[in-house]
Each structure stands twice: as structure tokens, then as C-alpha cells.
Chain A
Amino acid sequence: MLRFALLRLLWAIPTLLLVIVLAFLMVHAAPGGPFDAERALPPEIEANIARAYHLDEALPQQFARYLGGVLRGDFGPSYRYRDYSVSELIGNAIPVSMKLGALAMALAVLVGISLGTLAALRQNSALDRLMMGLAMTGISIPVFVIAPLFILFFAVKLQWLPASWSGSTSAWRLLLPVVALALPQIAYIARLTRASMIEVLGSDFIRTARAQGLGTAAIIRYHAMKPAMLPVLSYMGPAIAAILTGSVVVEEIFGIPGVGQFFVRGALNRDYTLVLGIVIFYAALVILLNLIVDVLYGFLDPRIRHR
């Protein structure tokens, strides 16, 4: 088991390295430098800037310097926000993004699994059909459609909740963003849970458990839950990626000063160091969380664990 976890960890390192190399090369293959966008600068100033940002060095040297910085948690200076380093920008933005992402994830998992299990137990009933129809709709409406519709309806029309982050300080300002972010994942997890729960409930060992006279609650809790959760668990990796992706949009739409908003602003302003830094940060986060999911999976499935 420990070997399994270590092996996974060993695989995570080259994966992350690959992202860093790819992202770094992409930025450096960009047509034109980052500072020749607006107006032409005198050559000596350009040379100074190049030196200041080590753009005059050979590519491998630049990469080594950058990688060394990344390992120390230093992503270099931002090209646009001149007074801040990329690490400072990300660091300041993390808490609110984290709160948003973690809450959305928790909501998606709890509600999704509960609804999915309920639908599986009432398979083919009107309730089941209604929930699955809604879930399909939920999957099909992108976050960037849900979020503005929420604002239009709850904030502009009904005026129940604040439309933007800066317009309020109450904890309620998190509600709409969190729900908008979680909704597609709730729908996906509910469908996944239902399908896998139905399959597990139809398996021979559940028939055995029924033959042993165990009640429905005991069957779900002691026999069905664990195997039914395995497909849901392996969806956690993609779910994390989807939440991160979604948070970029949600933060932009609701005006939340999180990592995602900096990412979008950076992207539109061609702030290469900022975008590069955030891509690497997101990659590390996704890889780390995937690693945890993998190890957890191995822990839950005895057939993998004993390999």
C-alpha cells in the first residue's frame, strides 16, 4: 500500500515538471516579447528591461533560474502589476478562492451523492425521472450561463442577494457563486452515484445481503456504499479540475478577487509571468489532489490494495 502511494508520488513529479516545461516553452515561443505591445521603447531601455527580467540569458539558463524560483515558491515579478511579485498576487488571492472551491466541492459531493442514492433507491419512479431530467439539464448548462442567470434573477430582479462581491460584506455574498459553481458537479455526481448505486444494488452480493435479512439502511451502509462510491471517487479528479475551471468564470462574473480573476485579467493583459505562475500553481494543485484521490481509491478497493 505504501509502495503504491510512493509510486504514485514518483509519477506526479515528472508530470508536474512536464507542465512547467510546456508552459514555460509556450510563453517563450510567443511571437514578440511581453513589453513591445503598446509603443516602441528606446533600445537601451529595452535592454535594461530585458536584463532586469533575465530575458538576455539563453533559454536553458532562464528555465533553470525560473525552476529554481518555483521550487522556492517564487514565480518572479508580475509584468503588469509592477509592485507585486506573482507569488504575492497568488498568495493574497488564495484564501477566498480556496473558500469558494472547497465549499462548492463539499456541496457538490454531499448533495450529489444524497440525490443520486435517493434516485437509485426509487429507480424509475416519478421522483427518479424528475431528478435525472434535472441532473441532465444541470450538466448541460455551463457555469458561465448559470452564474449570470443567477445574478439576473436573484440579484437584479428579486434583489435577494448581492450581485457583486464588493457590494456586500456579509457571508451571503458567497452563496450564489458557490451554488453556481457546484450545480453542474451536483448534477454530474448525482447521475454517477445513481448509475453506480443501481449497478451495485443489482449485484449478487447485495442479493446475498438481502437473503441474510439485512435492512435497506444496513445494506446501503455496510455493503453498497463503498463499492458504489468508487466511480464517484475516481470522478473527483476531473471534478476538481472542473471546479477550478469554473471558478475562473465565477470569480470573473461575480467580481471575486481570487486566483481565477487574476488569471483572466492576466490572460487578457498578456501578463505572461502571472499566467505562467497561475498555470503552474493550478497544475500542482490538480496533480496533488489527483494523487490524494488515487491513494484513497487504492485504500478503498482491497483488490488494488493487496497488489
Chain B
Amino acid sequence: MSLLEISGLSISYPGSAAVLDRLSFVIEKGESLGLVGESGSGKTQTALAIMGLLPTNARVAGGVVFDGTELLGQPERMLNLYRTRRMGIVFQDPMSALNPYVRIGAQLNRILLEHGLASDDEADSRSLEMLRLVGLPDVERQFRSYPHQLSGGMRQRVMIAAALIGKPDLLIADEPTTALDVTVQAQILGLLRGLRHEFNTALLLITHDLGVVAGNCERMIVLKDGKLIEEGMTPQIFAEPVHPVTRAMLAAARRSDFLARSHERTPKDQTPVLEIEGLAVSYAVPGERRSRKRLPAVQQLTMTIAPGETVALVGESGSGKTSLARAIVGLLPVQSGSMVLLGKPLTGRVESRPNALRRAVQMVFQDPVGSLNPAMRVDDIITEPLTVHEPDKIKANKDEVVAAMLRRVGLDDALKKRFPHELSGGQAQRVAIARALVLKPKILICDEAVAALDGSIRQDILELLRAEQQQSGLSLLFITHDLTTVRQISHRVLVMYLGRLCELADTESLFMRPKHPYTKALLDAVPIADPAIGIIVASDLGEAPSMLQPPSGCAFHPRCPYSISRCSEELPELQDFKKSSAACHRAAELAL
């Protein structure tokens, strides 16, 4: 008998198409199954159906048989016998999934007490033991902490502890690492692998990232629009995908495996459009106004962008990438250092800059819908820059401009009277790009501009940006945490850690011969979409320290496996190598 048998599971909601359509699969005891699909494919609905957590207005048909018992349609009281003791679940966002008003320890104790797994006296020690098992440091203190006092990775460890505390037979992990930085993701996935073997728990791992499946699941199924389209052993599917959608997903995931732009001549030798030297950006810490303590978001940053060049800016959350971008466009004040754009000094806030310079730098934001005014229609949004700068000209030929711009970003003319909330994410992002391009900027800054989009749409947008660049010689500053995207689009890469530049290199040499241990750690943490390679066991780096108390010397030294005493004492200078430069004392001697 299989541990879990899903048969003909269909879910629909009143007034919309089926979100899940006759899905069937099994999970055997102790096995790991990957459930892959893009957003809206029905992955999370499947997880909720198994746990009996679907909203009350969901219409469900089919069967969910757990260890011989049908769970669908069972009352809550009956399901509670299975939850925790037989199955547990880890959700995507560990911040909202933990109760912010209850201490970590109390939340774990409550589970034990409700299920009679421990007496009042034993609960504390059992919970502490579980927290130790998931690798939570300083357990006694964290036990008494509230969730907001923990970092994202630590919260996810707590979620895993809560899901495994009843030693269940099945653990469902729904995008458990999507909200986390890539180095933390590697640690959490490693933890899940270890615990699974220790507890002999079956794992249903839900993800959009084929790389995550490749290293963690023996078997996998692929969903598309609520239908199962592919099923099989992981290596087999990676080797010979049958369904065209699977093939396309794999192709997209593997673009990192070849250097898409390596053949292009890097345009970096020309006169740069933008030169930044010794830039520092900081802002006041909320709640610390009186102490005048300032958070150093960017320090001593020097870089250039050539015409027609794409520079990728990479780093974990809190590394200062976005602050740098906002300082360039003038949304954040510069503390010190200089910026030169098209040979003219770039200073002050955006409001005080001369028009020509302001037009030359535009930005595309992360949230496609949020960056468009909900009360304006597409045509007004696209032409607003011209309405402001050339009001007389635009009045005469607004329709032509709108039609031309929509065509240029690959949108249908029929969309021009829509409001932003009537657009899909990809369409909205194209409108945002059109609004930026209408001013004919020299530099386009993309702040995680494709992070919120699904695989195939992401590819289309990247393609659009690349085509635009080839036509108009636009320079791109591409901020991202996703190294796959970096490899596809950039000529050069700039790696930041805690506000400082670690490494600046040609894309190829960065991926092949990283010079900074942090770059190496980032690269190792990226899951590779190839089960044959298996898992590169990344060294457990822990998490980034707070910017408010940056470590002495090289900021990376507490997490660096190669650090020597000098690293904690002296700030490393940027050293130049053949195709890269790195700020590491040991860059010359290490072979990473």
C-alpha cells in the first residue's frame, strides 16, 4: 500500500475554471517526490487538499487516500488525528506562517500538548530538542523569542521543526525556500535532506525551480494549468522530457549552462555613459532617530557602465543593490562620492536634476502592477513622460506614439484603454518598460524587474530588453538575486556584500573563475538543473550579519571558510586581475 494515493483530484471555485483537473499520483513510504509547475498550475491547491486546508467554497472531487484512509470530506476532528502525527507541512513565507504574537517555544509546545505527545513538564525539553535538531543557534534564547526577532532562514527552520515535531510519515514543503536568499536556500534544502533520512519521512517538495527538484527528489511530476503533464524518475525526465512544456521549462532552466553572451564583444572599452566613484549611501534607521545612527547601505563603490553594456548587480537581500540603484536615479541622497553621467556631474535628488540628465536614466521596478498608477489607463501611463516634457507635441500625435510604443514592447494595441489591474504581470511590466523607453534613456535600471514573473514570461521580457539594447545601444544595469538571469543577460557582473563591492568581473570569468570566496559561495548555492551532477554541498555559511553592526575588516570574514586573521583586521582593497577585480586579501592565492 502506498503512503499517499491521490486519484482523480479536481478542485474548482465558483465562477472560475478548474484549478486542478483529475490529478492522480502516489507517494511511497520514505520517498521524495517533486511537484513542479509555474504559478497558477495548482501546486499549492494540491498541498492544501492533502492537508484538508482548502477554503470552504472550494469544490473538490476525487480521492486523497492516506495510508488506506480516505481523507477528503472528513470532519476537522478526524483530520486532526493525521495532521502533525502523520503529516506536516512547511509553507512558503515563514514570516506570515508563524504567529507573530506567540513565542516560538509556546507555538511548538502547543502542538505537543494538543496531540498529547508530551506532558506539560516534558514539552519544553521536547521543543528545545527539536529546535536544536533543525540547527537553530542559541536555542534557549530563540525559544523565548517572537518570530519577528528571527531572520527569514531561522524562521523557516522553526517551521520545519513544527512540521516534524510529531515525527510524521509525510512532509509537504510548499516552495519552502522561495522567499529566502540563495545561500540560505542551500542550507534549508540541505537540512531537509538530512532530516528526511533521519526521520525516514516521505517528502512532497513543491517548487517552480527545476534546480531544486534535481538535487532533492527521486521522482517528479509536472503540472500545467491544473493538469498532470509529465511523471517519472527525476533523472529520466531531465534526460528525456516528453511533454513540450517540460522541455521548454528545462531549456529555460538550463540556459545557465551555456554562456549566452560569451560570443558578444564586450563594449566596455568605450567611453562610459556612467562613472561612479567612491559612492556612499546611507539612511536613518527607523526608531534610532535620536542616536543619529545611520545605516550604511552602500560604501566606497566604484564602477562604470559603457554604452550598450549590461552590468548585473548581484547580492543577497540587504547587500545594498537597490540602494545603489535608487541613489543613481536620485531617489536616495548620496552621502559622498561622485557620479558622472554623459560627462556631466550627476548630483542631488531627482527633483533637482536637469531634465536632460533625468531623462537619460530610467528605471523598471520589481512589482509590475505596483509601478503603474491604478487610476490611469495604459495610453496615459505610456505618454505621461512626454505629456510632462513635450506637452504640445504629444497632444497632436498621442495615438501614434502609443501605437508605436505598444508595438515596440510587443503588446496589442487593444490594451491601450485598460487599467493596470486589468493586465497580467508580464503585460504590466511591458507597459512599464514602454513608459521608460519613451524618453529614449541612455541607461535603463532594472530592479529585480523579472523576479515576480514566471519562467517563460521572464524569458520573453529578457529577450525584449536584449533586442531593445541591440537596436538602440541602451545600457542596462540589471539588479537581481538570480544568477541564472545574470548569466543570460549580462556582460559584466558586480557582486555586492553588506554594501561593499566584492567582485567585479566579466560574466564568463565570474562563473568560471570566481575570485572572491563570497562569489564562490553564491555560485555553489544555486541549485543546478541536472540530477547527474547532484548536489554541490555548499559550506554552511550561516546568515548575513546586520548592517548596523558590520563585522570588522572584511565584512564577509565571519562566514568565509578561507578567512585568516588579517581578514578580521584589515579592509581588503580591490585587486585587479585579468578579467576581474576582487576585494579579498587572499584573491591571488586561492584557487576557487
Contact = CB atoms under 8 A, between A and B. Distances in A.
Please tell me whether chains A and B touch each other in their complex, using a CB distance cut-off of 8 A: yes
Interface of A: 203-205, 207-216, 218, 222-223, 226-227, 300-303, 306-307
Contacts of B97: 204-205, 207-208
B95 to A, nearest CB: 9
Contact of B111 (A204, A214, A302, A303): A214
Contacts of B511: none
Nearest to A215: B80
B79 interface: yes
B90 to A, nearest CB: 9
Nearest to B98: A205
A127 to B, nearest CB: 16
A302 B100 contact: yes
Q: Which of A203, A213, A218, A227 has the most C-beta atoms of chain B within 10 angstroms of its own C-beta? A: A213
A125 B79 CA distance: 23
A215 B111 CA distance: 10
Nearest to A214: B114
Contacts of A213: 79-85, 111, 114-115, 166
A203 B147 CA distance: 15
B110 A302 contact: no
Contacts of A303: 100, 146, 148
Contact of A222 (B83, B93, B110, B149): B110
23 contacts: A204-B91, A204-B93, A204-B97, A205-B99, A205-B100, A208-B98, A208-B162, A210-B51, A210-B53, A210-B83, A211-B83, A212-B83, A212-B111, A214-B111, A215-B80, A215-B114, A226-B101, A227-B101, A303-B146, A303-B148, A306-B146, A306-B148, A306-B149
Nearest to B286: A307
Contact of A212 (B77, B84, B100, B287): B84
Nearest to B93: A204
Nearest to B159: A208
B259 interface: no
B101 A301 contact: yes
A86 B2 CA distance: 83
B79 A223 contact: no
In the complex, the 10 A-B pairs of residues with the closest C-beta atoms, listed nearest first: A213-B83, A204-B96, A213-B80, A205-B99, A213-B84, A302-B146, A208-B97, A226-B101, A211-B89, A212-B111
A209 to B, nearest CB: 7
B88 interface: yes
Contacts of B53: 207, 210-211
Interface in B136-183: 146, 148-149, 159, 162-163, 166
B88 A214 contact: no
B532 interface: no
B76 interface: yes
B102 interface: yes
Contacts of A301: 101
Given A211-B89, A302-B100, 17 more contacts: A204-B96, A204-B97, A205-B96, A205-B100, A207-B53, A208-B159, A210-B76, A211-B51, A212-B111, A213-B82, A213-B114, A223-B110, A226-B101, A227-B101, A303-B100, A303-B148, A307-B287
B77 A211 contact: no
A207 B159 CA distance: 13
A300 B102 CA distance: 10
A223 B146 CA distance: 13
B151 to A, nearest CB: 15
A222 B51 contact: no
Q: Which of B81, B89, B93, B102 has the most C-beta atoms of chain A within 10 angstroms of its own C-beta? A: B102
Contacts of B51: 210-211
A209 B108 CA distance: 10
A4 to B, nearest CB: 12
Q: Which of A216, A222, A226, A301 has the most C-beta atoms of chain B within 10 angstroms of its own C-beta? A: A222
Nearest to B79: A213
Nearest to A227: B101
Interface in B85-126: 85, 88-89, 91, 93, 96-102, 106, 110-111, 114-115
Contacts of B101: 226-227, 300-302
Q: Which of B81, B96, B114, B159 has the most C-beta atoms of chain A within 10 angstroms of its own C-beta? A: B114
A208 B155 CA distance: 13
Nearest to A226: B101
B131 to A, nearest CB: 15
Contacts of A223: 99, 102, 110
Interface string B41-54: 00000000001010
Nearest to A213: B83
B504 to A, nearest CB: 39
A220 to B, nearest CB: 12
A306 B148 CA distance: 10
Contacts of B100: 205, 227, 302-303
A7 to B, nearest CB: 12
Contacts of A226: 101-102
A199 B425 CA distance: 27
A230 to B, nearest CB: 8
A203 to B, nearest CB: 7
Nearest to B84: A213
A222 B146 contact: no
Nearest to B89: A211
A216 B84 contact: no
Contacts of B99: 205, 208-209, 223, 227
B93 A214 contact: no
A227 B101 CA distance: 7
Interface in B307-348: none
B88 A216 contact: no
Contacts of A300: 101
A302 B148 contact: yes
A226 B99 CA distance: 10
A215 B75 CA distance: 11
Contacts of B88: 211-212
Contacts of B166: 213
A203 B110 contact: no
Interface in B497-549: none
A215 B77 contact: yes
Nearest to A205: B99
A226 B107 CA distance: 14
Contacts of B287: 307
Contacts of B83: 210-213
Contacts of B162: 208, 212
A216 B76 CA distance: 9
A274 to B, nearest CB: 45
B96 A203 contact: yes
B188 to A, nearest CB: 17
A304 to B, nearest CB: 11
Contacts of B111: 212-214
A209 B159 CA distance: 11
A216 B51 CA distance: 16
Contacts of A211: 51, 53, 83, 88-89, 163
Nearest to A204: B96
Contacts of A203: 96
